[in-house]
Amino acid sequence: MAKLIFISPYMKGGRNAARLAHRTRYFATREGVQLLKDDNTHLPATKKQQKYIQRLLRSFPEAKELPEHEDYATEPNRQTAFDLIEQIHEDFVEPMGSRENYLDYVANRPGVKSLGEHGLWNADGKVTSLENAIAEVAQHQGNVWTPIISLSRQNAERLGYTDLENWQALINASITDIAKGYKIHPDHLRWYAALHEKEKHLHVHMVIFSTDPKEGFLTKQGIRSIKSALVSTIYRNDRLHIYEKKDHQRSILQQEAEEQMASLIGQMSTGTLQNGKLELLVTDLAKRLQEVSGKKVYGYLPPRVKRIVDEIVDELSKDERVAAAYALWQDFREQLCIDYNQTPPQRVPLSQQKEFKTVRNMVIRETLRLSEMNFTFEDDTMPDEPEPEEPPAPSTQSSARTIYQQAHFYRKAKTVLNDADADPGEKAMALVTLRRLWEEGYTIAAHQLGKAYRDGLGSPVDREAAAEWFQKSTEAENDCSAYALGKLLLEQGEFSQARIWLQKAATQNNQYAQYRLGKLLLIGADDIPKDVDAAIRHLKESAVQGNQFAQYTLGKLYLLGQEVKADHEEALRYLSQAAAQGNTYAQYFIDHQNDFNGVSVGTTVLRMLHQMSRIFRENAAQPAIYAGMQIDKKRRRRLQEKRMAMGHKADDHEDSGLTQPSQ
């Protein structure tokens, strides 16, 4: 994006406008000077030109913002030197001998876009009395700023800023931001402006002051904020066009990257991992953790134990699936920095990456499971969101038509609620539709309402409302709703109530309820005593229906001889059924059936791999525009400062979803 030039000299009250206000016009432009011939313009700038430019730039450092200075710096020949000196004289020196001269110059200089006898305008349009305006500025006792806003001709033509009306609209639209930048109350702001046209650029000269002589102060931050407001307006359409192109390119790359990341996460979540070094490290960590007192989280561990945790994380990161996912995540993160000309952060091992610090505590948590010898179920990935069956079509044609219409509205509302990109208004209407369907007797709508309030789809999360709708659906004999209610109560720690609803769903032959109920009775809870016989019965009922997690749990119990008498044959039967459905833990137990200690450590390592998939899924969640990266607060602040330096306002919200908070 091409830059906008904004410079703002000022004249102190009662004094000359600048040190060089009375300097004799530079010898190169004075009357009678011998002008350079065209064939000499390409020669290097003369020593006198160079020295004089140096003096001018010392007196007027803001002149370095002029496009003529950029031309001179790029190619310092006699022509570019002449153009720069002439422009500095026009903008800073010659017209500023006094305030009267400056405003008269702005209104009447060659190239001004005239509004009749002069080219001066303000918020009301053309200034009716140039003399009154000149007198007002000349008599003002406070500071008067003389900003210049410039666009190259190429950009002015492309963006439509060759017309006076567009410049007037720009200034009027930005005047509140301009007042804020100068620390002048908008009600006190007084200003005049005129548009000047040159061969290479168009620019607006302004005169700005406050009716309160003591008010007004311009800082570098003020200049940035004013420039940001102007850029936001001038380049709005241009930005949209650029972002469209970038978004199209990004969407292609993002889709490929998302698919690659999803594939790697999937491989981690279901894959196997056998690593002798990892098993030794985990065994060592388990012993060390037993010796540690106090909180057993990474930040509180002794340095020697932390080193073991880091070594386990780095060993996990050597797995080709984890390594590929981490490299892809770092690519995402670096691209964000490159887009804003920010130096990408140095790549560090996974164990030292702040955004993945949850990995270290995951390693500790999984190792504690091993050291405490708790029975684990490995059911984090169980797909247990069964949907209620839709009512069968009635016999009469009129009733059938009504049912078909209700089914159509039900499916549409369900689709909208589950669409992450759906408009919030559409989701709110979907909830209204489901309530209406419930009132009409279409009972399964209550189940969707329960899910919506439980998961915050179309409304804030409201677990109490979710429980009420699940209960209504359950009372209408939807067994999956009884299970959903029981599971919700389990998550809230209401075990007695959860047991009631899980029992109801289990009697309706819901395999997930049978499994959850068996699991609850196997381990017990605050107000639920252990009942191993009932637990085994429910687990077997679920296993008969093909639930691989129930099959795996039974196989593991019989193999280890925990809570039941060891039965190697029965264990292999259940484990084989689960392994046939892709259960990697069951297969691991089959492969290590004669090494119970080794299988426990190996299972812990496997759990770590699967937990890594969850952590990568969380860290690769897609923001609104950019794919899958999270940055810490300091880096986010530096990027924000960079955006503002490029001419954006702090509240532009162009990339509002660019980043999310660190984990």
Collapsing DSSP states into helix, strand and coil, what is residue 5?
A: strand
Q: How confident is the model over 492-516, as a mean pLDDT?
A: 91
Mean pLDDT across the chain: 78
pLDDT in tens, 218-273: 898 888 889 888 887 877 656 555 555 555 555 565 567 667 777 877 777 777 77
Q: Do residue 405 and residue 457 come from a single domain?
A: yes
Q: For residue 139, tell me if it sits in a domain.
A: yes
Q: Among 22-31, 211-220, 410-419, 503-512, where is mean pLDDT lowest?
A: 22-31
Q: Which of 8, 663, 610 is nearest to 321 (CA)?
A: 610
The pLDDT of residue 339 is: 54
Q: Do residue 270 and residue 216 come from a single domain?
A: no
Choosing from 183, 211, 239, the residue where a domain stops is 239
Q: For residue 607, tell me if it sits in a domain.
A: no
**Measuring CA to CA, how many Å separate 181 from each of 3, 184, 230?**
19, 8, 12
Which residue is it, tokens 């209504």? Answer: 472
Q: Do residue 269 and residue 152 come from a single domain?
A: no
Distance between CA atoms of 403 and 396, rounded to whole angstroms? 11
More confident residue, 461 or 233: 461
More confident residue, 640 or 516: 516
Collapsing DSSP states into helix, strand and coil, what is residue 11?
A: strand
Range of the domain at 633: 242-374+622-645
* Secondary structure letter of residue 627 according to DSSP: -
CB atoms near residue 386 (< 10 Å): 18
Q: Do residue 506 and residue 552 come from a single domain?
A: yes
Q: Do residue 303 and residue 422 come from a single domain?
A: no
Choosing from 188, 216, 239, the residue where a domain stops is 239
Q: For residue 64, tell me if it sits in a domain.
A: yes
Collapsing DSSP states into helix, strand and coil, what is residue 362?
A: helix
> Does this model's pTM top 0.85?
no
More confident residue, 396 or 37: 396
pLDDT in tens, 340-377: 556 777 888 988 888 888 889 888 888 887 655 567 78
Q: Do residue 471 and residue 349 come from a single domain?
A: no
Number of domains in the chain: 3
The pLDDT of residue 3 is: 65
* 655: its two tokens: 């990339």
Q: How confident is the model over 479-485, as a mean pLDDT?
A: 90
Q: Do residue 197 and residue 158 come from a single domain?
A: yes
Please, which contacts does 489-496 make with residues 24 or more away whose CB atoms are closer than 8 Å?
Answer: 490/516, 490/520, 492/463, 493/526, 495/520, 495/525, 495/526, 495/527, 495/528, 496/527, 496/528
More confident residue, 270 or 504: 504
Choosing from 201, 223, 239, the residue where a domain stops is 239
Q: For residue 96, tell me if it sits in a domain.
A: yes
* Secondary structure letter of residue 257 according to DSSP: H
Beta bridge partners of residue 207, listed in sequence order: 192
Q: Do residue 272 and residue 175 come from a single domain?
A: no
